[in-house]
Amino acid sequence: MEPIVHISDARIAQHENIVLDDVNLEIAPGEFIYLIGKTGSGKSSLLKTLYGELPLKSGSGQVCGFDLVKLKKRKIPYLRRKLGIVFQDFELLTDRSVNENLKFVLKATGWKDKSKTNERIEEVLTKVGLQTKGYKMPHELSGGEQQRIAIARALLNEPDLILADEPTGNLDPTTTEGILQLLFDISKGGKGVLMATHDYASMKKFEARTLVCTDGKLRDAASFNHFADYSYR
């Protein structure tokens, strides 16, 4: 099975500042991976490179069939339709309902059939357990519910890969566990999930392959002899 992500000998940079060097990464369909590291170590820069926000400076990179080295600005929206992106701060439109938030995304990505649009919204809300909340405004939802809506939004266009940047950073432990379970269930359905996080306590409950941004490199946590003794806060 072809990997969703294949990055080889890559250099990740913000402007001229090299953040990560000699990056090698593969993500397979259905694989869940944690991405950890100190603030400023390169986690967000790596995610931004994967979704086309930052250009790939050197090496090679394929994400969902798109060549990151040759990626033109006009093609970035097409890449992002293959991705689901989840942020810490939900980034819901506060002036419209849950249903209208989701309709906005579908309309922006070319959906025109009203019945198919409504059907897809019902499907993703059911998947995240909020099928009765479509009429609610974001401020009427809890933090956990808002993040579930953000995940539903990420699933709208059947992405191959979910990129989650600190998705549980603003949530309490119980809510965090529910969000992690949801993301794990999504990966079991065949989608890749790469999740940047500082929540090491929850990682122990949901064990998965873990990558570390440290000293300008992307390393597999399994290479550390005493991983549990390391702190990347």
**Using an 8 Å Cβ cutoff, are 83 and 51 in contact?**
yes
Q: Which residue, chain included where needed, has tokens 């790939």?
A: 56
In the chain, which residue ranges form alpha helices assigned H by DSSP? 43-50, 76-80, 98-108, 114-127, 143-155, 173-188, 200-205
**Using an 8 Å Cβ cutoff, are 202 and 176 in contact?**
yes
Tell me the per-residue pLDDT of 183-206, one tens digit each, with 9 for 90 and over: 999 999 999 999 999 888 888 888
Whole-number Cα distances in Å, 172 to 12, 168, 177, 196, 198: 32, 8, 9, 17, 13
* pTM, entire model: 0.90
pLDDT at 225: 53
DSSP characters over 104-154: HHHHHTT---HHHHHHHHHHHHHHTT-TT-TT--GGGS-HHHHHHHHHHHH
Tell me the sheet residues that pair with 96.
none
The H or E element that residue 41 is part of is none
CA distance 113 to 86: 26
**Using an 8 Å Cβ cutoff, are 2 and 158 in contact?**
no
Domain ranges of the chain: 94-158
Q: Mean pLDDT, 10 residues at a time, over the chain (233 residues)?
A: 93 89 95 93 93 91 94 91 88 93 91 93 94 95 93 93 91 90 93 92 89 93 60 46
Question: Rounded to the nearest 5°, which phi and psi values hold at 115?
Answer: -70, -40
Tell me the per-residue pLDDT of 206-228, one tens digit each, with 9 for 90 and over: 899 999 999 999 999 887 654 44
* Average model confidence (pLDDT) across the chain: 90
